[in-house]
Amino acid sequence: MKWKTYFFDTVDSTNTQARLYDVGSIVVAKKQTSGRGRYGRIWHSDIGNLYISFVVSQFGIQTPLLAFLFGVAVCEVLPEFSLRLKWPNDVLLNGGKLAGILLEQEDNKLIAGIGLNVTTAPHENMLYQTASLNGQITNEEVLKRLMKTVSDNMDLFIEKGFEPIREKWLKYGYGIGTQISVKLPNETLSGIFEELTPQGAISLKLNNGTRRLITVGDVFFDNKEMKEENK
Ligand code: BTN
């Protein structure tokens, strides 16, 4: 895909700005005044980090699966940092959150916003541990790599469906086969993360032996190593 890129110094949110543009557009800003995350959370958006939104097509009921595609793309473009993914698409560096991805549907378009801590990690009032690349790479270089890899992965998804993206996700996915907890709106479930299903859900084997398919929720790792890192 040939992207058309719109650069801004400051916007409220690149995802909001992106609503104005057609499929194939990218909105990049140096700073956001109302950057937002999943579940209505704030995304701290000071100058220095990357704030970018891709406008792509929707794919009917398969649209939510693109969440995995963008998470995979971030890991693929930064092979030098050994990144991992926390279901569905939080990008982790040494257990801290390096990048977050917010998918929003608007008319017939999907807007995929990526916030990536290229220079600094916000630390104040954070619900989780954060990480940054400490400026070891430029925003421009990350953007250039992402444009190509997102485009390649979109082609793959259009041609072959979710399976090859799912396989790539499994290479970066953290905690598969281990004990995890998933915080749902009204309850927290614990069990073994058995697999990522072809629909992008977590198959969770509960401690009482039954299985639950998880399609929304926040994952926490129960293993000691990650707990230490996630503190
Ligand atoms: C999350 O992990 O909660 C998702 C964070 C997504 C942040 C990005 S920054 C660019 C785009 N614009 C926004 O307002 N949010 C996304």
Model confidence pLDDT, tens digit, residues 21-67: 999 999 999 999 999 999 889 999 999 999 999 999 999 999 999 99
The confidence score (pLDDT) of residue 126 equals 75
The finding on whether 51 has its CB within 6 A of some atom of ligand 1 is yes
Give the nearest ligand 1 atom to 12 CA: 14
Q: Span 146-173, mean pLDDT? A: 98
- If you measure from the C-alpha of residue 205 to the centroid of ligand 1, how many angstroms do you get, rounded to a whole number? 31
| Residue 36 Cβ contacting ligand 1 at under 6 Å | yes
**pLDDT for 207:** 87
Nearest-5° Cα angle at 51, 50 to 56: 125
The pick from 38, 102, 110, 118 for probing ligand 1's pocket by mutation, whose C-beta has the most ligand atoms within 8 angstroms, reads: 102
Answer yes or no: is pLDDT of 230 > 80: no
Determine the pLDDT at residue 151: 98
Which pLDDT score, from 0 to 100, does residue 226 have? 57
| Cα–Cα distance, 40 to 53 (Å, whole number) | 17
Whether the predicted pLDDT of 116 surpasses 50: yes
Mean pLDDT, rounded, for 113-121: 97
Local confidence band at 128 (pLDDT 50, 70, 90 cut-offs): confident
Average pLDDT over residues 205-209: 92
211-216 average pLDDT score = 95
Q: Does residue 32's CB lie within 6 angstroms of at least one atom of ligand 1? A: yes
- Over residues 86-110, the pLDDT tens digits come to 999 999 999 999 999 999 999 999 9
For range 159-177, the mean pLDDT: 97
Contact 102 CB / ligand 1 (< 6 Å): yes
Distance, in Å, from the CA atom of 143 to the CA atom of 138, rounded to the nearest integer, reads 9
Residue 70 Cα to ligand 1 middle (Å): 12
Q: Which ligand 1 atom minimizes the distance to the CA of 15?
A: 12
**Confidence band, pLDDT 50/70/90 cuts, at residue 222:** confident
Mean pLDDT of the chain: 94
Ligand 1 contacts CB of residue 173 (under 6 A): no
Å from CA of 207 to ligand 1 middle: 34
Q: How far, in Å, from the CA of 225 to the mean position of ligand 1? A: 27
- Going from the Cα of 208 to the center of ligand 1, the distance in angstroms, rounded, reads 36
Q: Of the ranges 3-12, 115-124, 148-157, which one carries the lowest mean pLDDT score?
A: 115-124
Per-residue model confidence (pLDDT) at position 225: 53
- Edge to edge, what strands does the sheet with 179-183 contain? 211-214, 202-206, 188-196, 179-183, 218-221
